[in-house]
Structure 1
Amino acid sequence: MTTAKAYAAQSATSGMAPFSLERRQLRPDDVAIEIDYCGVCHTDIHFAENDWGFTIYPVVPGHEIIGHVARVGDKVTKFKEGDIVGVGCMVDSCHTCSACKSGLEQYCLEGMVATYNGQDRVDQSVTYGGYSDSIVVKEEFVLSIPEKLNAATAAPILCAGITTYSPLKHYGVKAGDKVGILGMGGLGHMGVKFAKALGAEVTIFTRSESKVAEAKKQGADHVIISTDPDQMAAAADSFDLLLDTIPVQHDLNPYLACLKYDGKHILVGLLQPVEPALQAGELVMKRRVLAGSLIGGIPETQEVLDFCAEHNISCDVEMLDIRHINEAYERMKKGDVKYRFVIDMATLKGR
């Protein structure tokens, strides 16, 4: 066992504070990583504050991890000391079910092991995430970071990036398609970049006139103010796919009406019941599809990292001293970050 410095929440109201934890000794297929950067995802807040009711305390969040290899187990073949690597939202799965064999470990029929607040399949210990100076992860769940990528701005690709890339790829977005992005936070701004790189004509839906210029700066071809009935009416029956990154309850019906027949509305942000009620006729009468999508498997996560390197795509980030993590959480709740905080772990190692 090795002792690691970290930040953890001890209860739903404690906030984040310094914490020490024990990382396991290397198993033969393990990679020990010294963490350099960790993105801050809104999911981290949900777990720190037990919004979903199943947090195991103490909890060390963080699943957008970039670091360098410190040591490897005897049977590791893919990585060596000094390699720049990443760890995303999961660190294990059963490896034997149909989903795992298809490279879709996020849908493991036995349940993926989350990077934090999960349970290790070998010793049943609780997993601790990337708000830490080190982590030990099974080789199969460690990702190679292309040299062309900036390590700090690459961190959010491991969650915000793959969450938006995976459905665009799965549903075959291609050149000439009309794609709408609902919301323009950490997920939404990455969705714009990916859809544009795939050749789509991209429209941002936003409630705020103040975001129009920023949406265009991010690469959107058009902006629709979703609270303007005339703009929404003009968009009827015109989109091939809507990527919905809005994380709170919102009325889906006006957006469904914007889809062509056979159009697809993909939820990647909402985990709550749909309210207000869905008008099923908006689906039935035009053979529209309402679906959801969860991150991506390990092969596809490596694919999106390589895609970002090829197309010069990075996340817009604000670097963070970990000592200010509680203030960062409050700013995130207000939408006051463009578009992802990334913790510089030098601020933890030097404290």
Structure 2
Amino acid sequence: MLTVNAFGAPSATEPLVPLTIERRPVGAEDVLIKIAYAGICHSDIHFARGEWGPISYPQVVGHEIVGEVVEAGANVTKFSVGDRVGVGCMVNSCRECANCLAGEEQYCLKGNIQTFGGIDPKDGNVTQGGYSTHVVVDQDFVLNVPESLDYAAVAPLLCAGITTYSPLRHWNAGPGKKVAVVGLGGLGHMAVKLAAAMGAEVTVLSQSLSKQEDGLRLGASHYYATSDPATFENLANEFDLIINTVSASIDINAYLSLLTLDGALVAVGAPAEPLGVQVFTLFGNRRTFAGSSIGGIRETQEMLDFCAEHGIVPETELIGADQINEAWERVLKSDVRYRFVIDTATLTGAGA
């Protein structure tokens, strides 16, 4: 076992603290990754605070991980020591069900193994995430990170990037398509960048115009305030695809009315409360209301390569470990443009 430095939650209510955790020995199919940077996702906070159900503590979160391979198992063929790699939201799956065999491991019918808070099938222990100095991962769930992507900024692509890329690809965003993005936060700003790079005409729908300058800079052609009722009147039947990135409860029927014939509204944000959908709203224009998770490993690699080709990285703020608790408070206040990234070299204490 390898003892490594980490920063984790001792309970659902206490601030995160420095600690050490054990990583499993490097197996024949595994790589040991020295983590360089780890992104902070809102889901880290929900999970660590027990808001999605009871969990065991201490818990280290983080599923936006980039680093360097420092050891490879005897049967590893996909990576070599020194390679720059990434790890996203999952570290294993059953690999046998129809969805896994189709390259959609994120929809594993037996449930994929999450990067934190899952049960590792290789040792039976709870998986611990990327707010740490090292991680051991099966080679099949590791990604190549192109050298052209900014090392210190790339980590959030492993969650925010793929979460928005996957529905944009699935619903064929591209030239001739009008795409609206609801919300301009960590997910929304990536949706704007990616949809614009795909060639779509992009509109941001935000509660206010406070981030309008950012939205247009990131690639949007239009920006509207949803607090203005005229927005919904003027944009009725306008969009081929709407990506809803917000986790707050919204009037989903009002947004569905903005879809054109065969248009789709896809939720990637997850409100705690159910959303009331009027079926008659779907009847108009043969509209679709759908949801989307992350992507599979194949699609996540495709996303990273696409971002390298188009020079896309998230807008980030680099922080040290001593700023993580403050960063969490700022995430809860939506006071970040647009993603925090932890420099894991700042983790201190006993360990590797």
Q: Which moved more, 1:42-51 or 1:158-167?
A: 42-51
In 2, Cα distance between equivalents of 1:51 and 1:272? 10
SS of 1:151 mapped into structure 2? coil
Long gaps (5+) in structure 2: none
Determine the structure 2 residue equivalent to 1:285: 284
Instruction: Using the aligned pairs only, state the percent identity.
Output: 51
CA distance in 2, matches of 1:183, 1:112: 28
Note if contact 1:133-1:349 (Cα within 8 Å) is conserved in structure 2. Answer: no
What is the distance in 2 between the residues matched to 1:79 and 1:209? 45
Residue 201 of structure 1 contacts residue 221 of structure 1 at CA under 8 Å; is this kept in 2? yes
Shift of 1:322: 1.0
Aligned-partner Cα distance in 2 for 1:54–1:66? 28
Separation (CA, whole Å) in 1 of partners of 2:70 and 2:278: 54
The one-character-per-residue Cα deviations of 1:313-334 (angstroms, maximum 9, x if unpaired) are 0100000111111100000101
Identify the residue that residue 113 of structure 2 maps to in structure 1: 113
Counterpart AA for 1:148: S
Q: Please give the residue correspondences for 1:1-351 in structure 2 after superposition, counting only pairs within 5 Å.
A: 1-275=1-275, 277-349=276-348
- Alpha-carbon distance in 1 for matches of 2:56, 2:255: 37
AA at the equivalent of 1:290: F
Secondary structure class of the residue paired with 1:214: helix
Cα distance in 1 for residues equivalent to 2:14 and 2:211? 34
On the 8 A contact 1:38/1:66 being kept in 2, the answer is yes
CA deviation vs aligned residue, 1:79-117 (integer Å, no higher than 9, x gap): 111111000000000111111111100000111000000
> Any idea what SS the aligned residue of 2:21 has?
strand
Q: Report the Cα offset of residue 123 of structure 1.
A: 2.2
Render the CA deviation track for 1:134-172: whole Å, top value 9, x for unaligned: 000000001101111111211000000000000000111
Provide the rounded CA distance (Å) in 1 between the counterparts of 2:62 and 2:313.
19
Q: 1-side partners of 2:293 and 2:188: how far apart?
A: 15
Give the superposition deviation at 1:180.
0.1
8 Å contact from structure 2 (residues 209, 224) kept in 1: no
Contact 2:196 2:219 in 1 (8 A): yes
Residue identity matched to 2:258: C
Are residues 22 and 350 of structure 1, via their aligned partners in 2, closer, same or farther at CA, if it must alter by over 3 Å? closer
Q: For residue 73 of structure 2, what is the amino acid of its counterpart?
A: G
1:214 and 1:149, CA in 2 relative to 1: closer, same or farther beyond 3 A?
same
Separation in structure 2 between the aligned mates of residue 15 and residue 72 of structure 1, nearest angstrom: 35
One-letter code of the match for 1:332? V
The number of equivalent residue pairs is 350
Letter of the 2:203 partner, please give it.
Answer: T
Distance in 2, matches of 1:198 and 1:54, equals 40
Conserved? CA contact 1:182–1:205, under 8 Å: yes
Whole-angstrom CA distance in 1 between matches of 2:176 and 2:273: 33
| Aligned counterparts of 1:225 and 1:256: Cα–Cα separation in 2 | 16
The answer as to whether partners of 1:161 and 1:190 remain within 8 angstroms in 2 is yes
C-alpha separation in 1, matches of 2:205 and 2:172: 21
* Counterpart secondary structure, 1:180: strand
Distance 1:114 1:225 in 2: 36
Alpha-carbon RMSD: 1.1
In the TM superposition, what whole-angstrom CA distance separates every residue of 1:177-221 from its partner, at most 9, and x where no partner exists? 000000000100000011001110000001112122221122110
Whole-angstrom distance in 1 between the partners of 2:334 and 2:273? 22
User: 1:265·1:289 contact (CA, 8 Å) conserved in 2?
Assistant: yes
TM-score, L = length of structure 1: 0.98
Given that residues 20 and 349 in structure 2 are in contact (C-alpha distance below 8 angstroms), is that contact kept between their aligned partners in structure 1? no
The alpha carbon displacement at 1:285 in A equals: 2.4
CA contact (8 A) 1:15 1:48 kept: no
User: 1:47–1:59: 8 Å Cα contact kept in structure 2?
Assistant: no
- 1:271 shift after superposition: 4.6
In structure 2, how many angstroms separate the alpha carbons of the residues matched to 1:52 and 1:255?
A: 27
**Structure 1 residue 55, shift from structure 2 partner:** 2.5
The normalised TM-score by structure 2 is 0.97
SS in 2 for 1:106: helix
Verify the 8 A CA contact 1:65 1:88 in the aligned structure 2: yes
Amino acid at match of 1:203: T
- Secondary structure of the residue aligned to 1:166 is helix
**Structure 1 runs of 4+ off > 6 angstroms?**
none
Deviation at 1:349, TM superposition (A): 4.9
Q: 1:308, 1:349 → 2: CA distance?
A: 32
